[in-house]
Structure 1
Amino acid sequence: MTIPQPDLVVLDMAGTTIDEGLAVYRVLEETVTAHGGTPSAADIARWHGSAKHEALRALLTPPGGTPLTDEALAPVVADFRARLTAAYAAQPPRALPGVPEALAELRAAGIKVALNTGFDRDVVDSLLSALGWQGDAVADAVVCGSDVPAGRPAPFMIFAAMERTGVKDVRRVLVAGDTPRDLEAGTNSGAAFVVGVLSGASDAAELGAHRHTHLLPSVAALPALLGLRDARTVAA
């Protein structure tokens, strides 16, 4: 079944539109460990989809302890950024299959496309440059976790995407991502459609436990969901 076309589609980056081999979570664990933390796999998983400076601060705060100040956190964030840049140089990220074509179809139909991510602007700029996605090549706006007061599950990146694309009605917005935090942010924003995609960090069982309107194998299936191509390619 197709759904009404939204005015804006807001998409996560790593794991949703971009395949970066889950390097960001390996690097997150490495950075926390290098700075004295002892994160478990479950600890890292709880921060999937988050703003990375928020994740680093939380993962380096012992139970009942005092969170790092911004000044103390700054070199940790710089270390994370350097490690992630090196990881991406060693294994360059690439667009997930069918995603560039899907984004082009959405935009050709008059639907605005925004990317949002927990990465800060420096990481995003280098990532988009490596993909050839600078400017308005594939999206009408790009919003980073460092652009807003709080990252997911707060809805502020979605609201910033609406502001930057001139979309005023959140009931005309579709949000999609591969983590529970993506779904929580979409729900918190009041978006009409909150779509989990199975191309990244979370499986159907994990995403299905959180409020959503649809689960899809990939962003590549969005044009079919919106009636822009054969709907038989859409998973229920």
Structure 2
Amino acid sequence: MNLFIRKEAYTGPVQAIVLDWAGTAVDFGCMAPAAVFVEVFREHGIDVTVQEARQFMGIEKKEHIRKICALETVKSAWQNAFGAHPGESDINALYNRTADMMVAAIVNHCDPIPAMMDAVETLRSSGIKIGSCTGYVREMMDVLVPGAGKKGYSPDAVFCSSDVPNGRPYPWMCYKNAIALGVYPMEAMVKVGDTIVDIQEGLNAGMWTVGIVESGNEMGLTPEDLEALPAGERARRVAAITQAFGQAGAHYVLKQPHDLPRVIRQINDRLAAGEQPMTR
């Protein structure tokens, strides 16, 4: 392959995608982490709603704990229970408990999302490499990666928040994927995820970005609960998430990932015409 030298716009095809894990490639609805955060705080007598826990999903897990602790409702409840706002020692203790519980929970939440697996198979058959990154840390991935592998999902590269100086929305995990996969330039890569920080991470890395709606954290439902939603309520939620991803800068937003190969073809056309991710 001829090395691209940045003297003009890259007009070649997409070479790789970088998938988030929970809610994008595995664990439909991103159920494992949300439940763990709620339970960890409940053990300390603090009520945290699923919605409060989910709003920070996708970032590194200790930072996630820190942001939950910064919520006014949590600070107030902690003050009432312990006489002070949560400090760094409290955050460390909460995180250590979260890490233990997350490892235990992940074992039961590593099923690949079928529509994404179909898309991955199609993209691989066309020569596209499959990278991945996550807000999980390495000890969690040491459980998730082999668990998902036994069920048919093994990306070509895996990086997590503990592999880099800072997790999302910093672009470092995407850069690690580019190096491991041997892909250059960054506009030849597409970031796919189910949270706002996934989109921000991809944009910060100079990549095309795709938001996944119905299987992800923002929807936050199992397949069964999603199907049970009244049609009007489902459409309302899809529209709200789609708008939020669009406002965050996503180039494409998909209800389900089966349309991802079509989107990649569209990006190829845009690249061939000289368009770049940041020019939209």
Q: Name the TM-score class by shorter chain.
A: 0.7 to 0.9
Pairing 1:49–2:67 present: no
CA displacement at 1:179 relative to structure 2: 0.7
What is the CA deviation profile of residues 73-122 of structure 1, one whole-angstrom value per residue up to 9, with x for unaligned ones? 55433311222233344x44311122223212222222111111000111
Correspondence for 1:114: 131
Determine what percentage of the aligned residue pairs are the same residue.
28
Pairing 1:94–2:97 present: no
CA distance in 2, matches of 1:16, 1:177: 6
34-43 vs 100-109, greater mean Cα deviation: 34-43
Correspondence for 1:232: none
Pairing 1:220–2:236 present: no
RMSD value, Cα: 2.9
Whether contact under 8 Å (1:8, 1:174) holds in the other structure is yes
CA distance in 2, matches of 1:78, 1:95: 27
Of 33, 40, 48 in structure 2, the residue corresponding to residue 24 of structure 1 is 33
Correspondence for 1:147: 163
Correspondence for 2:79: none
Correspondence for 1:197: 212
Of 85, 88, 111 in structure 2, the residue corresponding to residue 68 of structure 1 is 88
Correspondence for 1:231: none
TM-score computed with the length of structure 1 as normaliser: 0.81
Letter in 2 for 1:26: A
Of 81, 85, 103 in structure 2, the residue corresponding to residue 85 of structure 1 is 103
Correspondence for 2:6: none
Q: How many residues align?
A: 221
| Rg (Cα) greater in structure | 2
Residues 214/4 of structure 1: CA separation in 2 closer, same or farther (3 Å cut):
farther
CA distance in 1, matches of 2:44, 2:165: 25
Residues 45/131 of structure 1: CA separation in 2 closer, same or farther (3 Å cut):
closer
25-34 vs 152-161, greater mean Cα deviation: 25-34
CA distance in 2, matches of 1:6, 1:179: 22
- Which stretches in structure 1 are left out of the alignment for 5+ residues? 229-236
Letter in 2 for 1:25: A
What is the CA deviation profile of residues 8-40 of structure 1, one whole-angstrom value per residue up to 9, with x for unaligned ones? 201111111112542211211222343465545
CA distance in 1, matches of 2:249, 2:87: 30
Whether contact under 8 Å (2:28, 2:216) holds in the other structure is no
CA distance in 1, matches of 2:262, 2:65: 38
Of 2, 9, 12 in structure 1, the residue corresponding to residue 17 of structure 2 is 9
Whether contact under 8 Å (1:37, 1:60) holds in the other structure is no
Whether contact under 8 Å (1:150, 1:156) holds in the other structure is yes
Residues 46/67 of structure 1: CA separation in 2 closer, same or farther (3 Å cut):
farther
100-109 vs 48-57, greater mean Cα deviation: 100-109
Higher helix share: 2
TM-score computed with the length of structure 2 as normaliser: 0.69
CA distance in 1, matches of 2:246, 2:95: 32
Whether contact under 8 Å (2:26, 2:109) holds in the other structure is no
Letter in 1 for 2:128: I
